[in-house]
Amino acid sequence: MAVVVDRLARATDELASAVGTGRTPSRAADDLVAAAGALDPFALAPDDWQAQSLVLLLRSLAVDLAEAAGADPATARRALPEI
């Protein structure tokens, strides 16, 4: 779980850096879509409903951040593992 949260944090940092420097955040968008693809609550925490709840919250955040970075909304949502 920590690896996935770290991946999401790093992609968010890339988005902040791109916005702060006026760069196009395409790398951040790609990284955030990729991070969203790892947010499967049942694979990450099969026996921990509290951790699964956190992953469910992170799924929404990942899609919102990916869209803010310029990812197509449908692409960002499709990246999420089906639950």
Q: 27-69 pLDDT, tens per residue?
A: 999 999 999 999 999 999 999 999 999 999 999 999 999 999 9
Could you state, in order of their start, the residue ranges of all structural domains in the chain? 2-79
**pLDDT of res. 5:** 95
The pair of structure tokens assigned to 29 is 């968008």
**Is the distance from CB of 29 to CB of 64 less than 8 angstroms?**
no
Q: Where does the pLDDT of residue 18 fall: very low under 50, low under 70, confident under 90, or very high at 90 and above?
A: very high
Q: Where does the pLDDT of residue 15 fall: very low under 50, low under 70, confident under 90, or very high at 90 and above?
A: very high
Helix (H, G, I), strand (E, B) or coil at 46: coil
How many other C-beta atoms lie within 10 A of the C-beta of residue 41?
Answer: 21
Q: Which residue has the tokens 């925490």?
A: 45
The Cα 14–Cα 47 span in angstroms is: 32
**Is the distance from CB of 49 to CB of 5 less than 8 angstroms?**
no
